[in-house]
Chains A and B, each alone.
Chain A
Amino acid sequence: MKPGLRLKSLTPDAPLVEVQFGGEALMLPEGDNLAAALLAAGIDGFRQTPYQGVARAPYCMMGICFDCLLEVDGVSQQSCMVQVRAGMDLRPARQRREGPYASL
């Protein structure tokens, strides 16, 4: 299986911080754009569509399309509009929201 997007980085390595993505630890550059950082980490399943249940990944990177949707600490958000912080709890946005509701 091919990896996700291949991205070449031009910036000096920013300090990495740990976040959780779907329950697994991931190191991302602090303060970077979350969607871009995840793409660079090889992730390309951000949002799952409500009917066909297929994965989507960022399309516009400017807050228009909502395909980069993630649950960030229990609230669904456009990850292209969020910056990486240490300790974020991230999950792909499922057909129906999970987050704090998952146990119900």
Chain B
Amino acid sequence: MHRFDLAIVGAGPAGMAAAREAAEAGLKVALVDEQPRAGGQIYRNVGQAAQTYGAQLGKEYLRGVPLVEGIDHEAITHFSGHSVWAIEKGQLALNSPDGARQIGARCVLLATGAIERPMPVPGWTLPGVMGAGAAQIMLKQSGLAVENAVLVGSGPLLHLVAVQLLRAGAPPVALVETRQRRDSRRALLMWRLMLRAGRYIQRSLADLNELRNAGVPRHMACADVALLGERRVDTVSFSSGGRRQELSCDAALLHHGVVPHVQASRAAGVPHIWSDKIQAHVPVCDSWGRTEVPRVWVAGDGAWIGGARAAELSGRIAGLAIAHDLGFVHSPERDRRTSGWIEERDFELSLRPLIEKAFPPYAAALAPADNVTVCRCEEISAGEVRQAVRDGATGINHVKVSTRAGMGRCQGRMCAAALARIVVRESDAKIDEIGTLNARPPIKPVTLGALAGMRREAEGSEDD
């Protein structure tokens, strides 16, 4: 088994920055990511795409180039195309097309990033319905722009993807925005924050301008969103301004914020708490990223949604703090070098309430109507979940065993939040009373053959 001082899960801005800092401090680092290339979500494929269609993706995207270059370091081993499916004391189990393997590590940093908040609305399981972020991934990774799309939901990423599609020559049909007028008013009340967030607001206004000039319609304060179509989506239906409207399209791209991707931290046994602010479960950690599980750390959007810059900074901070804990760096040096980063990270995080207020999630998708599928894997509707609660299910795992919701391949990544909200409302309980879906390895698929191979390897080395 290869042994490292630090194994990092996730090569986004947080993981890449942490790897660099730790390597510079003298640690032997493994950087593991299931993607074929480093970059994470925001800088996905930036190493390749920067040359060809980087311009369409914008300046922000190109900031990833130095980060990717930074992991080209003799002390960093980049396991690309390797998914991490188990985290156990001192070891990580990886899987790749070449089979399963284990690596040893004195410390583990989970920098697994965010996922788009699932948006269960009627029709969201139809082919042709995707996340807006998913469309962006296709653009960054394959240079493919989804044409004739309606973007539905809320959040800065919705606007960004619309602009990126526009620049790529695939202007969206329209934006169907679910935020209500009061949301913008609430955000305006935070004018002090708005002044500080000037840079971001300017960019966002520029994006909206670009969309307006191109004649992309924006429907505001939309409700009752439904995606229609026989075999695949062909219509987005919604009400806005007291009118029911329908738009035909070839694709519907949904988005209403991002939430931490906590499958790995949950399976590693890290305690999580519900955050009302970001409407999701977040791992409990200190300001360095240290969790309650010995030698397991978290950083980036997987720990707390803060955006790319905050993710990068939290990675640097965790990288150096781990180096300190392992005895590579003295406290004064750690403190001296991290103080500026901490200040800047905290500044970035202080701006988040603005986004949270201005772009709240689409309420009807948080606890969907009875006929909406919540568990995509096992095809369980919100109504079935409610019925289970009425039949006496007392917690989320009870709902899981009685309906099968959350038992499919995605292990609840797509339905956990909706299940939790439904159970809370239906049983009049508090969210921290109903438990969280059990998360256990394997968090990514592994074949029995690959697992069995690990056993043979272990037996082989015992014989030696």
Complex A–B touching at CB under 8 A: yes
**Minimum C-beta distance from B97 to chain A (A):** 8
A67 at the interface (CB under 8 A from B): yes
**One of A4, A77, A83 near B127 (C-beta < 8 A):** A4
Cα(A47)–Cα(B311), bound, Å: 34
Asked, given contacts A57-B127, A62-B115, A67-B376, whether A33 binds B142 with beta carbons under 8 Å apart, the answer is: yes
Interface-facing stretch out of B144-152, B196-204, B210-218, B451-459: B144-152
B439 at the interface (CB under 8 A from A): no
B310 at the interface (CB under 8 A from A): no
Give A54's nearest chain B residue, CB to CB.
Answer: B125
Give B413's nearest chain A residue, CB to CB.
Answer: A64
Residues of A within 8 A of B41 (CB): 62
**One of B129, B168, B409 near A10 (C-beta < 8 A):** B168
**Minimum C-beta distance from B98 to chain A (A):** 13
Residues of A within 8 A of B146 (CB): 5-7
Contact B134 A62 (CB under 8 A): yes
Contact B170 A51 (CB under 8 A): no
Cα(A79)–Cα(B133), bound, Å: 17
Chain B at the A interface: mostly helix, strand, loop or mixed?
loop
Most buried by A among B83, B133, B170, B377: B377
Cα(A2)–Cα(B168), bound, Å: 23
Asked, given contacts A5-B250, A36-B141, A55-B127, whether A64 binds B115 with beta carbons under 8 Å apart, the answer is: yes
**Minimum C-beta distance from A25 to chain B (A):** 21
Residues of B within 8 A of A39 (CB): 138, 144
A26 at the interface (CB under 8 A from B): no
B234 at the interface (CB under 8 A from A): yes
What is the interface size of chain B, counting residues whose CB is below 8 A from a CB of the partner? 52
Contact A60 B131 (CB under 8 A): yes
Cα(A59)–Cα(B410), bound, Å: 12
B392 at the interface (CB under 8 A from A): no
Residues 30-56 of A, flagged 1 when their CB comes within 8 A of B and 0 if not, give 001100110110001100011110111
Residues of A within 8 A of B35 (CB): 81
Cα(A50)–Cα(B251), bound, Å: 24
A75 at the interface (CB under 8 A from B): yes
Contact A75 B447 (CB under 8 A): yes
**One of A10, A62, A63, A67 near B145 (C-beta < 8 A):** A10
Contact B250 A10 (CB under 8 A): no
B347 at the interface (CB under 8 A from A): no
Contact A36 B144 (CB under 8 A): yes
Asked, given contacts A59-B134, A63-B444, whether A37 binds B232 with beta carbons under 8 Å apart, the answer is: no
Residues of B within 8 A of A2 (CB): 232, 234, 250
Asked, given contacts A55-B231, A57-B128, whether A33 binds B378 with beta carbons under 8 Å apart, the answer is: no
Residues of B within 8 A of A103 (CB): none
Cα(A64)–Cα(B34), bound, Å: 12
Give A32's nearest chain B residue, CB to CB.
Answer: B142
Residues of B within 8 A of A75 (CB): 447
Contact B127 A45 (CB under 8 A): yes
Contact B379 A49 (CB under 8 A): yes
A65 at the interface (CB under 8 A from B): yes
Residues of A within 8 A of B377 (CB): 66
Contact B147 A7 (CB under 8 A): yes
Residues of A within 8 A of B261 (CB): 64
B408 at the interface (CB under 8 A from A): yes
Asked, given contacts A11-B53, A37-B142, A64-B413, whether A6 binds B148 with beta carbons under 8 Å apart, the answer is: yes
Residues of B within 8 A of A67 (CB): 125, 376
Contact B413 A65 (CB under 8 A): yes
A8 at the interface (CB under 8 A from B): yes
Cα(A62)–Cα(B125), bound, Å: 16
Cα(A76)–Cα(B393), bound, Å: 33
**One of B137, B142, B409 near A66 (C-beta < 8 A):** B409
Cα(A85)–Cα(B287), bound, Å: 44
Cα(A11)–Cα(B133), bound, Å: 19
Residues of A within 8 A of B36 (CB): 83
Asked, given contacts A6-B250, A8-B144, whether A61 binds B232 with beta carbons under 8 Å apart, the answer is: no
Residues of B within 8 A of A49 (CB): 379
Which residues of chain B from 17 to 67 have any CB-CB distance to chain A below 8 Å in the complex? Answer: 34-36, 41, 52-53, 56
Asked, given contacts A7-B144, A63-B34, whether A77 binds B445 with beta carbons under 8 Å apart, the answer is: yes
Residues of A within 8 A of B133 (CB): 60-62
**Minimum C-beta distance from B102 to chain A (A):** 20
Residues 383-419 of B, flagged 1 when their CB comes within 8 A of A and 0 if not, give 0000000000000000000000000111001100000
11 additional contacts (CB under 8 A) given A8-B170, A77-B445: A6-B250, A10-B52, A33-B138, A36-B141, A36-B144, A52-B379, A60-B130, A61-B138, A62-B115, A65-B414, A66-B377
Nearest 4 A/B pairs, CB to CB: A57-B127, A11-B143, A61-B134, A10-B143
A-B contact pairs, 20 of them (CB 8 A): A5-B147, A7-B138, A7-B145, A9-B145, A10-B53, A10-B144, A11-B52, A33-B142, A36-B144, A44-B127, A45-B127, A56-B127, A59-B130, A60-B116, A60-B134, A61-B141, A63-B34, A64-B115, A66-B410, A83-B36
